[in-house]
Chains A and B, each alone.
Chain A
Amino acid sequence: DVKVTQSSRYLVKRTGEKVFLECVQDMDHENMFWYRQDPGLGLRLIYFSYDVKMKEKGDIPEGYSVSREKKERFSLILESASTNQTSMYLCASSVEQYEKLFFGSGTQLSVL
């Protein structure tokens, strides 16, 4: 069965810390995505990647960066965490660029 694994379910960090959110998929999917979800705002796309070492900005990339050194792993990096980055972060992958997305369970990040 398809599996997208996010490294942490809950994470608490302090303002200014560098934060790494890891996502691994076991389906050999080309495409991987990072979203954040906030109450009343739905899911918003942060970054996505259609190939190894490739990345594209989504709707809200400010304050974030990503890394994709291997096909199965897509990391989201908060260079200097701020309180407004407290959110649920969801990783997803897909075979084709616009095909069915498979989501991880999410990481609830709290920045204090």
Chain B
Amino acid sequence: LAKTTQPISMDSYEGQEVNITCSHNNIATNDYITWYQQFPSQGPRFIIQGYKTKVTNEVASLFIPADRKSSTLSLPRVSLSDTAVYYCLARNTPLVFGKGTRLSVIA
């Protein structure tokens, strides 16, 4: 099963772009990469999913290089409300969440 590794925590100031990188060295050919966001006292919420190159939606962008061994979630111009834990999952381990990256946005 593909295992993901991401930083435990990150800090950012409001208005900055934040990039969270996740490594998934054992990702299988047909696996997708999915990111979730979790606020305190809530369940995780789907943010974005991609297979290769770049995917963008109203919340974030996801960059996946050609070798697909890593991916980067990009949050443009973060605000205090983006403070949350962000989880990266490779598709064949969608049932397994790691510890995620705790993003703290500072005013």
Contacts and interface: CB of A to CB of B under 8 A. Distances in A.
Interface string A42-58: 11110010000000001
B13 interface: no
Interface stretch (B14-22, B44-52, B58-66): B44-52
Interface in A28-83: 33, 35, 40-45, 48, 58-59
B37 to A, nearest CB: 11
B99 A40 contact: yes
Interface residues of B, number: 20
Nearest to A91: B43
A6 B34 CA distance: 24
Given A98-B92, A100-B46, A35 B41 contact: no
Nearest to A88: B41
B80 interface: no
B43 A106 contact: yes
B50 to A, nearest CB: 13
Contacts, number: 49
Query: How large, as a class, is the contact surface on chain A?
Result: 20 to 34
23 contacts: A41-B99, A42-B87, A42-B97, A42-B98, A42-B99, A43-B44, A48-B95, A58-B95, A90-B43, A91-B43, A98-B91, A98-B92, A99-B94, A100-B34, A100-B46, A100-B49, A101-B46, A103-B42, A103-B43, A103-B45, A105-B41, A106-B42, A106-B43
Q: Determine which residue in A33, A44, A58, A100 has the highest number of CB atoms from chain B within 10 A of its CB, and name it.
A: A100
Contact of B44 (A40, A98, A99, A101): A101
